[in-house]
Chains A and B, each alone.
Chain A
Amino acid sequence: MSRTAAPPSKITAHSRSIICQDTDLRGDITISEGCVVHPKATILALGGAIVIGKNCVIEEGTIIVNRNKEIMSIGDNNHFVVGCRIEAISVGNWNTFQPRSTVSSNIIIADHCTFSAGTTLLPAPTLQEGEIETIPPYTVIYGENSERRKWDGTGQLTEQNLREKHIEYLREIVPKYNRIRPTT
Chain B
Amino acid sequence: MGAFEPMITYEKGTYIETDTGNKVSRKATITGATNIILGGKSIIQTGSILRGDLRRSTAGQHVVITMGRYCLIGEGSIVRPPGKMYKGSFTFYPLRISDFVHIGPNCIVEAASIGSGVEIGKNCIIGKFVVIKDLAVILPDTVLPEGTVVPSMSIWSGNPGKLIDTLPETYQETMEAKCKSYYQRFRAA
**Chain-B contact segment, one of A45-53, A87-95, A126-134, A171-179:** A171-179
Interface residue range, chain A: 20 to 34
**Chain-B contact segment, one of A26-34, A65-73, A159-167:** A159-167
With known contacts A118-B125, A143-B160, A162-B90, A173–B78 Cβ distance under 8 A: no
Closest-CB distance, B59 to chain A (whole angstroms): 12
B158–A144 touching, CB < 8 Å: yes
A60–B53 touching, CB < 8 Å: no
Closest-CB distance, A6 to chain B (whole angstroms): 23
A144–B159 touching, CB < 8 Å: yes
Closest B residue to A167 by beta carbon equals: B90
Q: Is A85 an interface residue (CB 8 A)?
A: no
With known contacts A40-B49, A143-B159, A82–B78 Cβ distance under 8 A: yes
Closest B residue to A165 by beta carbon equals: B90
B127: chain A residues within 8 A (beta carbon): 99, 117
Q: Is A75 an interface residue (CB 8 A)?
A: no
B141: chain A residues within 8 A (beta carbon): 118
CA distance A162 to B84 in the complex (A): 8
B32: chain A residues within 8 A (beta carbon): 177
Which of B51, B90, B158 is in CB contact (< 8 Å) with A166?
B90
CA distance A174 to B80 in the complex (A): 13
B91–A178 touching, CB < 8 Å: no
A22: chain B residues within 8 A (beta carbon): 29
Chain B 105-117 interface mask (CB, 8 Å, partner A; 1/0): 0001010000000
Q: Is A24 an interface residue (CB 8 A)?
A: no
Chain B 48-88 interface mask (CB, 8 Å, partner A; 1/0): 01011111010000000000000000000010100111001
Closest-CB distance, B94 to chain A (whole angstroms): 14
A82–B80 touching, CB < 8 Å: yes
A117–B85 touching, CB < 8 Å: no
Q: Is B31 an interface residue (CB 8 A)?
A: yes
With known contacts A82-B108, A118-B143, A177–B85 Cβ distance under 8 A: no
CA distance A61 to B29 in the complex (A): 11
B57–A169 touching, CB < 8 Å: yes
Chain B 153-172 interface mask (CB, 8 Å, partner A; 1/0): 00000111000000000000
Closest B residue to A100 by beta carbon equals: B125
B159–A100 touching, CB < 8 Å: no
A99–B53 touching, CB < 8 Å: no
B91: chain A residues within 8 A (beta carbon): 169
Which of B53, B85, B88 is in CB contact (< 8 Å) with A173?
B53
CA distance A61 to B110 in the complex (A): 14
20 extra A-B contacts, CB within 8 A, seeds A61-B108, A82-B78, A165-B90: A39-B31, A60-B49, A60-B80, A61-B49, A61-B78, A83-B78, A99-B125, A99-B127, A117-B143, A144-B158, A144-B159, A162-B90, A165-B88, A174-B53, A176-B53, A177-B31, A177-B32, A177-B52, A177-B53, A178-B53
